[in-house]
Structure 1
Amino acid sequence: MVKFRSIIIGVLVVAVGIGMVLYLSPSEEKKIKKQFRLLAEWVSKEPGETPVTMAHKAKSIGTLFDQTCEFKIPAYSFSGSYTPEEISGYATQGRLSFSQLDLRFYDLQIVFPEKEIARVTFTARLTGKLAVGESVNEAHEVESILKKIEKRWLFSQFEAVEVLKK
């Protein structure tokens, strides 16, 4: 009787442990959303940002991208395939034009068309103040492809989605 009770308690402890691991481990969608949060954080710029912070953010941005990432953003004549280093460089140049910059992502719709590939459609909002004092407030509908490489979701494509106007 004591042996049976010990076995039952052991099985329950193991089941609860497995349940907690499954419950607490982040889902693939949460991992993808985290990549978007990091991208927004590292692109954004606060007034008075130090050069050390700027360098850290510039270096960090590149870690979010695949070996090559394709961009198709005709409104800014920004199309082509770029390496993480090139993307970091462009991001740094863009951030230098701003005294304050805020990037946010809204309405993320995540689908998995294939294993280890995610297609995310979202609204990107960019607000800020240029170094010359002009305000910027833009929103764009964008589709992105992320690939899971070595257990990390990395951006491999960004494409602006044309929104019909009345």
Structure 2
Amino acid sequence: TENIPPMATRGVLLDMVKLTRKNPVPAGTAFNKAEIDAAAKAAGVTIGKGDVVLFHTGYQALATKDPAKFIAQQPGLGKGGAEYLAGLGVVAIGADTAALEVIPFETKTEAFPVHQILLAKNGVHILENINTAELARDGATEFLFVLGQPRFKGAVQMVVNPVAIR
């Protein structure tokens, strides 16, 4: 984590619960370009270079109700969605899920392909288990996203405390 810069940038919330009218969004639901564009349009936002994009799925409620299911399967970002957002130049993508990406994976031959597309190939940071419920409840779609994380040499993940200022 010593190479991750602090972030102070525009945040965008895509409320997938509102878009799908399902709370939580069912496990296995992939968010690709069409879903991302529809959610952005519904929110009245345009995603741009330097943004942090957060997905609200309602799935975090399962972390205490059914932790095994919360870890084993989830809605999330698909490969096409990851490539699309990386192409827009976003700096980080997060969700209220354990792994950000859709599980089960879209293809059975790849493990965590979205992580590979985002972090390894494009340098886009991944934010997991982000509490998006308050933002969604308040209808916040744009905000100042601030993140200053501990910088430990050799660490590959870290507990962080992001702040959304509306």
Normalising by structure 2, we get a TM-score of: 0.26
Normalising by structure 1, we get a TM-score of: 0.26
Q: Which has the higher contact order (CA 8 A, sep 6+)?
A: 2
Higher strand share: 1
Higher helix share: 1
Larger radius of gyration: 1
